[in-house]
Structures are given as structure tokens and as C-alpha cells.
Chain A
Amino acid sequence: MISIGTMIILAVVLALITRVFLMKHKLLSWVLFSAYTAFSVFVLLKLYGNWNYFETMNLSYLVGRINMRPGFMNKPLGWFFSFFVMAMSFLNSFFSMGFSKSIHSRNIVPHWLMILAASLTVFFTKDWLLFIIGWETLGWASFFIIMGGKQKKYKDSMSYYFFSLVSGMLLIAAVWMIGIKFRTLNIHTTTRSMIILAKNTPWQAFPILLMLTLSFLIKSGAYPFHIWAPRAHKSAPADFSPFISGIMIKFGIFGLLLYVIPIVSKGYAGYSIFGMPVFAWVFSWLGIITSAIATVLAFSENDAKRLMAYSSVANAGYIITAIFLGTALGIKGGLLHAFNHMIFKAVIFMTIAAVVYRTGETDMNKMGGLAYKMPITFMTFLLGIIAAAGIAPMNGFVSKWMIYQALLGQKHYFMTVAMFFASTGAFLYLYRALHAIFLGQIREVHEREVKEVPFLMQIPMWIGMILMFGLGVFPGYLLRPMMPLMKTFGSSISESLNVVQGSVGSLNTLFSTVIFILGVVIAAAIFFLSAKTHKTPMMDNYTSGEDPEEWNVTPNKYQFSYGFYEPITKMFAWALKRSVDKAYFKASYILKIIGREINMIFTDHNNWGYAALLGLLAMIIGGLFL
């Protein structure tokens, strides 16, 4: 049996090989990448069920006064996340093989392999030290992919890197405090000690928990750290965006579930509000506020990738809310939504990448009518947005329904209403994307040049469609394997294939889908049994009796896309005025001024007095301490 450590080293070695020797052979390196991910999926499938499996490296060293023996453990939570990482990367590799021919940086494969190695480390590690190393590797490797060696993308990718640096620093600080307190860095033993600590002296556990939570929330793009998400998605290569949205955002969720949620839900002894710890209550609300704000921001967004990035942030918000509820149903709903979101958002970003591949455009105002040329891409996108808006019968509905049930079961009525807002809002902006990219009038350029993407790129789309629909009808196929995972969160309900139990009701997905299909059959029967139809060109429609050509109206102009939700945007103008971006901008401006002043002290000869004063102060303070 191949150990997890070997898989990690294999990924690093492959990364080196592709970086050094295969820079000129993009296709070959993608094939290697694909083979590696397929192999990891195979290895992970063999590991399933073997929850006592662990391995220790023949290596021991001292960190401070703590004796370290790094190793890996197979836990259900880590297994599920790494399985999805590998499986989604495998699907994505087909897409990238087709995509890489034209506009593509060569640096993607090696860095992506580094990300895979780092994520295996993070998901299976036994101690915090390897966790930090993996976490930091994730940050810089994805930074290089997002920037892609292009100067003009420097600013946006730098904002992403800044946030992942902050996240890493908070993590290091928290781990440092854990190490000092418990004299060990083992994740699982410190969880138990933390539960006891939180029970007895909450104020000692609080700063550690807060820092860890913030660190993980930054990674999942929660408010007010959401601003990196749209920028990173926009500047990332189109075929890497599925990975950022599907997987990278979920690393934060993994961290929360690994360490914060068990401690908060089991060991909290402080004040509670509405029957849950204040700590969890605050972050639950933060999750729902994140989704509401991301929804409002998405209304007025004109760039397809940025719009979908906001949608991802909104979905991360639901997941955060659900898991902080701390109930078995909430965690189950949150986890299921996380996995479902991995599938449907990856698929949506793939369709956008397909559009970029054919048109080279992400501005929705410059598109339209592409469905007539790319029907498969359109169908995939359609099913994707049905899932993303949480509409039955796709997979997104089941998990969203469970989150609603979890919220109602705990009597969080205001959160439920806020979630209704975000959910209906999702329908609004997703329809806008559907219309502006795929429907309406097709541009003349696209009419001539665009065609469907090659078959290789269609493979992941087809698989995605089947997964979204299949898991919508039979959520049990995902919920049943998740039973050992739910057991670690104290729930031992056995799942059936197509009936989901909630707190105030149950849902039979198979039945509702059958009814829907019957309804469609009836509608189709009415349609096809009635009179004949004949086709007319797209421009031949109602124009108040005027001839479009006389007014010089071309298909480019006969498309409604710009300012689609202007009334709603106007309503939220007061909120959009006070954006967090401005606060960040001001902070960076002040930092720059301080930096320049400090720089002046050492470089400007007129200021030697300050330098002398500073030196004197330093000497006095140093003297006091010595």
C-alpha cells in the first residue's frame, strides 16, 4: 500500500520534473498531472473506511522544547476533502488539456501539483507544524498561478497574497499559543485539551479560537475579507478559476470543521444567546451577512468571473452559517453544501472558461446569444445555475433545504429570512449571467467565429451535469458515504437514498423529480400535439412597427444587458457607497505614508536628527530590558 507521505513526495517530484524538464511540453505535463490525480483518487478510494490508519515518519526533532514526530492520520474529514480535491483536479485536467493549446501560461502544472501536495499535507497531517507548512505552500503556489507571470495582474494577485499572508500569520500566532500552553503540537490531543480549557477558563481559550477562526474565514472569503475573491478569480487563468472557487475557498471550511467547531460546540461554557454560544452566534450571523452583501454586490457586476466569485462568497457564507450552528443537521447541511458547491461552481467556471476559450472575453456586456453556437456549454451552465440558485431538482437544492431546516430547527428566524434574501438574490444575478452570456441577440463577430468547444473539454461538463442531476435526485449517494464523517460530529442517523430528514419536515427528492419530469412530459405533450411552428431569424421580431435597419440597429445593439438590475442597485446605493474596499484603500494609504516617513528618517540627510533620536530611544528601551 502506498503511503500518504509517498503521494506527497511524488507530487513534489512531479512538480520539479514538469518545471525543469517539461516546460516546452505543455500537453505532456497535463497528461502527467491527470495521471497523478487519477492515481491519487485510486489510492484514496482504497483508504476509505480504514479510519485507524496512521503513519509516522522516521524523523524526530525539537521545536522549542517540543519533541516532534511528524506523521499522517486518515480521518473522515480530511479524507473527504482530499478526495474532492483530487477528483475535481482530475476532471479539470481534461478541460485544461484542451484549453492549454492557445492562451496559457506554462507555470500552471508544477504549481498546481505543489498545491495538491500541500493540500494532502493539510488534510492528513497529525501536527500543527506540517499544517502551517502546507497552508503557506497553498498560499504562494496559488499566487504564482493567479499572477501567471504577468505584470498587469500584479496588483490583484497581490491582494490575494496579502490576505493569505495575514491568514498564515494568524494561524502561526494561534499555533504558537497552543504550543506554549500544552507543550505539544498534535492536532487531535490539543483538540481535547482545548475543549477542557474552554470549559474551565473560556477567556484563555478565546484568543486562540478567535485567531484560528479569523485565519480560516479569510481563506473562505467571509466578510470583510471577501474582496480578494473577485480579484483573484478575475486575474486567474480561466481554467484555474474552477479550482479556486470549488476547492480553495473550502480550505477555510475544512479548518473550521477540524478545530474550531468541535471546540465551540462541545466545550463552551460562557454566555449563550438563543441557545447557542455567543461566539458561534456571532460567526453564524457573519456568514449570513457575507452572503447578503455578496449578493448585493453581484447585482451590479458586469464581469462574468467576478459575478461568479461573488456567488462563491455567498455560498461560503451559507456554509459558515450552517456549520457554526453546531447541530448535527447544520454541520451535515453545511458539509453537503460544501461538496455540492465544489461540483456545481467548478462546472460553472468551466463553462465560463469555455466561453473565454472561444471569445476571449469575460465582460458580459460584450457577449450574448452564445447558446445558439455552444449548446452543450449552455446546457451545462443552465444546470449549473439551477443548482447554484438552489432550485429543485438539482443537488444545490437538497443542501440548501437542509440548511433551512437546521436554521428553523434552532429557531433562528431572522437568519432564515436573511438567507431567503440571499437565495432569491442568487436567482436574480444568475439569470442575468445566463441572459447576458448565452441568450438574447448574438453579436455579428460571434455569429461568424464561435463554435462549440472540442470534445476533450466537453467531457468534464458532461460528467458535471450527470453529477449535479444525480446527486439532486439521489443525495444518498453522497450522504451514505458521509456517515462515518457525521459520526465524528455525533450524529449516527442512517441515510436513505432519496429521503432527507430535516428538523421540521422531510424531503423525498426522487418523488419530486418524478413529478417534475411528469409535468414536463404533460407540457411537452400539449406543445407538440398542438399546431405547427415555423422558424424565423433572431432579428425578425417586434420593434413597435419600426424597421431596425432604418435606425441602424444591429444585433450588437439589440441586446439588453447593461444596467440590468439598475432599480435594485439604486436601492442599495447607500450601502454600496460605504464599501470595505475604501476602508482597505485608506488603510493602505496611511501605511504608505508611515512607510515613507520611516524611509525618510534613514535616507534623507536633513532628518538625521530623527534618526539620532530614534537610536537614543532604542538604546534606552534596550537598556531597561537588559
Chain B
Amino acid sequence: MVGLLFIGLGRIITARVQRRIGPPFYQQFIDVIKLLARESIWHHWIMTLGSIMALGGLIATMVHVPVAGWLPYDSGGPIFLILYLATIGYLGMAMGVSASGNPNAPLGIGRALSLMLGYEIPFAAILILFISLTGSSSLTEIAAMQAGGFLSWNIVKFPLAFIAAEITVQAMMAEKPFDQMIAPSEIASGPLVELGGKFLGLGMIQMAVAIYFETAIMVNLFFGGGANIFTFTLKQFGVYTIAILINSVMPRYKIENAVRYLWTVPLALIIIQMLIVFLR
């Protein structure tokens, strides 16, 4: 829900940057409901299986990310589990669109996975920095470490790591300049090419869920979690706004350049940050 709202608001922001008025903020809800109500075509039951597995995996991931320190079960926001549960969502998505038989889809997935290889490395380095500082791989504890005012937030303490994380999250959300997997003008929207009706509807929900937990991870890592769900969501929206603003003014990288960039700039930043932390 919140994710959809974010996308709706994001569309307005993009429009304003481009000097348009943009759609109303609830447009995305209308789109999803409309798509779910449309009769749609499918090529094979594996498409259905893939769509359901993708959404299921992403919802499961979302449940494990602590929101303002709150979790349905006391698992502490296990970061490795979150990363690898998200992967089953991506695998489901990839499998579903592969079964559609359109070569554009695996082309897009191939790009997405190459990009994933790119951003996982700096992201892992960031996580390792925080794990080494707290001695725990739980998101709740990483967020709790930053308790007590604005100045103890990790964004203030580790600005270089934050810039690196912002770049990797940009790639994670597949916003420009890292939107090679969708690239409407090159590969006909890539993975989405054969999805119509409720498959596309599910795809939009998947995207919303992914944006929701990716921003939530960022808030937990850098913005000290949140006192209550309202401030937490506000911070999430802040993270998303940064991503959207960069997205609306950027062109697109070639995939190998994107991966090379991710392995040099953010990784170098995070290593400098690590050196500063460990040598001090």
C-alpha cells in the first residue's frame, strides 16, 4: 500500500521536475485495480507460478524488515535472511517472464542479474561495516545503535558510506541511471514485455513491495529507524524522493559500465569509510 502510494507521489515529483502537472497521487491504486480486473492472456502455468512465487517471496522479505523497531515475530531483522528471501522473489519474477517465450524478457533479466552482481558487492561491504560495528546482523540492533537524536544517526557518522549506499539502492530499485533491465526504448520494457492484465498488476505490486522494503532497510541502516510508524514512513519517503530526483534527470548507463561504476565508486567510498572507522 505504502509502496504504491510512493510510486504515485514519485510520478508527481518526476512530472514537476519535468515541468508537468502529473497524475493524482492515487493513480497507481487505480491502475492496479484496473489491471487486476482485466482479462489477461498467459502462455504457460509456469508464468503463474513465477508471478505468485515472486510476490510471495517479496512479501515474506517485507515482513522480516523491522518497521520503527516493530516486527511480527522477534527475529530481529536478520539481514542475510532478508537478502536471500528477496532473491527468491527475483527468481520467481525471472522464471515467470522467461516462460512467456519472448526473448526480450530473458534479455532484461540477464541485464538485471548482471546489475545485481554489481550492486550486491558494495551493499555487502556496507552491511559488513555495520555488522562489524554492532557485532550483530540484526537490523533492529543496527537501528537501535543510532538512538538519541539526529547527530547519532549513521548518515551523520558515516557520510561516505551513506553516499555509497544511496548509489547502490538506486541500482537496487532499478531507477536511472541503472534502469537497463526495463529500458523501454531498447528491449521493449524487458521483463514486463509479455505481462498484461493481472500479471502486470501483480508486477506493479511486486515493485511497490520491493521499493517499500528497500527504503525501509535504508532507514534502518542510516536514519536511526524511527520512533513510530509515521516518522518511519516519512523517512522512507525521503529516501525514495532522493532516488526519484536522481532518476528524473539521469540518462542510462550501458550495463557493463554500470557494473564497473558500481564496483569502483561506491566500493571505493565504502573502503575509505572503513579505513577511517577502523584506523581511528
| A residues in contact (CB < 8 Å) with B | 369, 371-372, 378, 382, 386, 389-393, 397, 401, 404-405, 408, 411, 413, 416-417, 420-421, 424-425, 427-428, 431-432, 434-435, 439-441, 502, 504-508, 511-512, 515-524, 526-527, 530-542, 544, 558-560, 564-565, 567-568, 570-571
Report yes or no: A535 in contact with B42, Cβ–Cβ below 8 A: yes
- Measured between beta carbons, the chain B residues less than 8 angstroms from A506 are 78
Report yes or no: A391 in contact with B259, Cβ–Cβ below 8 A: no
Given contacts A516-B57, A535-B41, contact A408 B75 (CB under 8 A): no
Known: A533-B197, A558-B103. 16 other contacts (CB 8 A): A428-B113, A505-B76, A511-B73, A511-B75, A516-B85, A517-B56, A519-B56, A533-B198, A537-B43, A538-B43, A538-B101, A542-B194, A544-B188, A560-B107, A567-B254, A571-B260
Q: How far is the CA of A428 from the CA of B256 in the complex (A)?
A: 15
Report yes or no: A392 in contact with B84, Cβ–Cβ below 8 A: yes
- Measured between beta carbons, the chain B residues less than 8 angstroms from A539 are 101
- Interface of B, helix, strand, loop or mixed by DSSP: helix
Report yes or no: B43 in contact with A559, Cβ–Cβ below 8 A: no
List 7 tightest A-B contacts by C-beta distance, closest first. Answer: A520-B56, A523-B55, A519-B59, A560-B103, A439-B98, A519-B56, A530-B36
- Measured between beta carbons, the chain B residues less than 8 angstroms from A382 are 95
Q: How far is the CA of A515 from the CA of B86 in the complex (A)?
A: 13
28 residue pairs A–B, Cβ–Cβ below 8 Å: A371-B46, A382-B95, A389-B87, A413-B125, A417-B125, A424-B120, A427-B113, A431-B91, A431-B94, A431-B113, A504-B131, A505-B78, A505-B136, A515-B64, A518-B59, A518-B60, A519-B55, A521-B56, A523-B55, A526-B36, A527-B52, A530-B201, A533-B40, A533-B197, A534-B39, A535-B43, A568-B117, A570-B256
- Which residue of chain A lies nearest to B58 when distances are taken between CB atoms in the complex? A519
- Measured between beta carbons, the chain A residues less than 8 angstroms from B64 are 512, 515
Given contacts A526-B202, A538-B101, A542-B193, contact A427 B87 (CB under 8 A): yes
Q: Which of A369, A389, A439, A523 contacts B56 (CB 8 A)?
A: A523
- Measured between beta carbons, the chain B residues less than 8 angstroms from A515 are 60, 63-64, 73
Q: How far is the CA of A516 from the CA of B75 in the complex (A)?
A: 14
Q: How far is the CA of A517 from the CA of B55 in the complex (A)?
A: 11
User: Does residue B132 face the partner (Cβ distance < 8 Å to A)?
Assistant: yes
Q: How far is the CA of A421 from the CA of B125 in the complex (A)?
A: 11
Nearest CB in chain A: distance from B213 CB, A: 12
Q: How far is the CA of A526 from the CA of B104 in the complex (A)?
A: 27
Nearest CB in chain B: distance from A547 CB, A: 15
- Provide the B68-83 mask, 1 if CB < 8 A to any CB of A, else 0: 0000010110101100
Q: How far is the CA of A36 from the CA of B107 in the complex (A)?
A: 49
- Measured between beta carbons, the chain B residues less than 8 angstroms from A537 are 43
- Measured between beta carbons, the chain B residues less than 8 angstroms from A411 are 132
Q: How far is the CA of A439 from the CA of B100 in the complex (A)?
A: 8
Report yes or no: A541 in contact with B63, Cβ–Cβ below 8 A: no
Nearest CB in chain A: distance from B157 CB, A: 19
- Measured between beta carbons, the chain B residues less than 8 angstroms from A372 are 44, 46
| Chain B CB within 10 A, most for which of A440, A502, A508 | A440
- Measured between beta carbons, the chain A residues less than 8 angstroms from B205 are 526
Within 8 A of A (CB), among B27-64: 36-44, 46, 48, 51-60, 63-64
A-B contact count (CB 8 A): 228
Report yes or no: B106 in contact with A440, Cβ–Cβ below 8 A: yes
Report yes or no: A425 in contact with B198, Cβ–Cβ below 8 A: no
Report yes or no: B43 in contact with A567, Cβ–Cβ below 8 A: no
- Measured between beta carbons, the chain B residues less than 8 angstroms from A520 are 52-53, 55-57
Q: How far is the CA of A531 from the CA of B271 in the complex (A)?
A: 51
- Measured between beta carbons, the chain A residues less than 8 angstroms from B137 are 405, 408, 502, 504-505
Report yes or no: A527 in contact with B198, Cβ–Cβ below 8 A: yes
- Which residue of chain A lies nearest to B189 when distances are taken between CB atoms in the complex? A542
- Measured between beta carbons, the chain B residues less than 8 angstroms from A424 are 116-117, 120-121
Q: How far is the CA of A359 from the CA of B76 in the complex (A)?
A: 49
- Which residue of chain A lies nearest to B141 when distances are taken between CB atoms in the complex? A505
User: Does residue B255 face the partner (Cβ distance < 8 Å to A)?
Assistant: yes
- Measured between beta carbons, the chain B residues less than 8 angstroms from A435 are 94, 98, 106, 109
Nearest CB in chain A: distance from B167 CB, A: 16
- Measured between beta carbons, the chain A residues less than 8 angstroms from B51 are 523, 527
- Which residue of chain A lies nearest to B62 when distances are taken between CB atoms in the complex? A519
Q: Which of B36, B80, B114, B128 contacts A565 (CB 8 A)?
A: B114
| Chain B CB within 10 A, most for which of A372, A512, A522 | A512
Q: How far is the CA of A538 from the CA of B107 in the complex (A)?
A: 17
Report yes or no: B95 in contact with A434, Cβ–Cβ below 8 A: yes
- Which residue of chain A lies nearest to B117 when distances are taken between CB atoms in the complex? A424
Report yes or no: A541 in contact with B101, Cβ–Cβ below 8 A: yes
User: Does residue B14 face the partner (Cβ distance < 8 Å to A)?
Assistant: no
- Measured between beta carbons, the chain B residues less than 8 angstroms from A522 are 55-56, 59
| B residues in contact (CB < 8 Å) with A | 36-44, 46, 48, 51-60, 63-64, 73, 75-76, 78, 80-81, 84-85, 87-88, 91, 94-95, 98-104, 106-107, 109-111, 113-114, 116-117, 120-121, 124-125, 128, 131-132, 135-138, 188, 193-194, 197-198, 201-202, 205, 254-256, 259-260, 274
Q: How far is the CA of A512 from the CA of B63 in the complex (A)?
A: 10
Report yes or no: A404 in contact with B256, Cβ–Cβ below 8 A: no
Report yes or no: A427 in contact with B128, Cβ–Cβ below 8 A: no
- Measured between beta carbons, the chain A residues less than 8 angstroms from B256 are 567-568, 570-571
Nearest CB in chain B: distance from A131 CB, A: 38
- Measured between beta carbons, the chain B residues less than 8 angstroms from A427 are 87, 91, 113, 116
Nearest CB in chain A: distance from B184 CB, A: 12
Report yes or no: A536 in contact with B124, Cβ–Cβ below 8 A: no
- Which residue of chain B lies nearest to A368 when distances are taken between CB atoms in the complex? B101
- Which residue of chain A lies nearest to B101 when distances are taken between CB atoms in the complex? A538
| Chain B CB within 10 A, most for which of A508, A527, A538 | A527
Report yes or no: B117 in contact with A421, Cβ–Cβ below 8 A: yes
Q: Which of B39, B73, B87 contacts A531 (CB 8 A)?
A: B39
Given contacts A435-B98, A505-B137, A570-B256, contact A541 B56 (CB under 8 A): no
- Measured between beta carbons, the chain B residues less than 8 angstroms from A524 are 52, 56
Report yes or no: A408 in contact with B128, Cβ–Cβ below 8 A: yes
Report yes or no: B128 in contact with A417, Cβ–Cβ below 8 A: yes
Given contacts A526-B205, A542-B102, contact A531 B38 (CB under 8 A): yes
Q: Which of B42, B60, B106 contacts A519 (CB 8 A)?
A: B60
Given contacts A439-B46, A533-B40, A567-B255, contact A527 B202 (CB under 8 A): yes
- Measured between beta carbons, the chain A residues less than 8 angstroms from B116 are 424, 427-428
| Chain B CB within 10 A, most for which of A371, A405, A505, A558 | A505
Report yes or no: A391 in contact with B81, Cβ–Cβ below 8 A: no
Q: How far is the CA of A387 from the CA of B65 in the complex (A)?
A: 23
Q: How far is the CA of A46 from the CA of B165 in the complex (A)?
A: 55
Q: How far is the CA of A570 from the CA of B193 in the complex (A)?
A: 27
Q: How far is the CA of A441 from the CA of B99 in the complex (A)?
A: 8
Q: Which of B53, B55, B106 contacts A526 (CB 8 A)?
A: B55
Q: How far is the CA of A568 from the CA of B138 in the complex (A)?
A: 32
- Measured between beta carbons, the chain B residues less than 8 angstroms from A531 are 36-40, 197-198
Q: How far is the CA of A420 from the CA of B83 in the complex (A)?
A: 11
Given contacts A439-B46, A512-B64, contact A567 B259 (CB under 8 A): yes
Nearest CB in chain B: distance from A560 CB, A: 4
Report yes or no: B102 in contact with A541, Cβ–Cβ below 8 A: yes
- Which residue of chain A lies nearest to B270 when distances are taken between CB atoms in the complex? A417
- Measured between beta carbons, the chain A residues less than 8 angstroms from B63 are 515, 519
Q: Which of A420, A521, A559 contacts B121 (CB 8 A)?
A: A420
Q: Which of A507, A544, A568 contacts B78 (CB 8 A)?
A: A507
Q: How far is the CA of A558 from the CA of B193 in the complex (A)?
A: 15
Q: How far is the CA of A518 from the CA of B72 in the complex (A)?
A: 13
Given contacts A411-B132, A417-B121, A571-B260, contact A523 B104 (CB under 8 A): no
Nearest CB in chain A: distance from B125 CB, A: 6
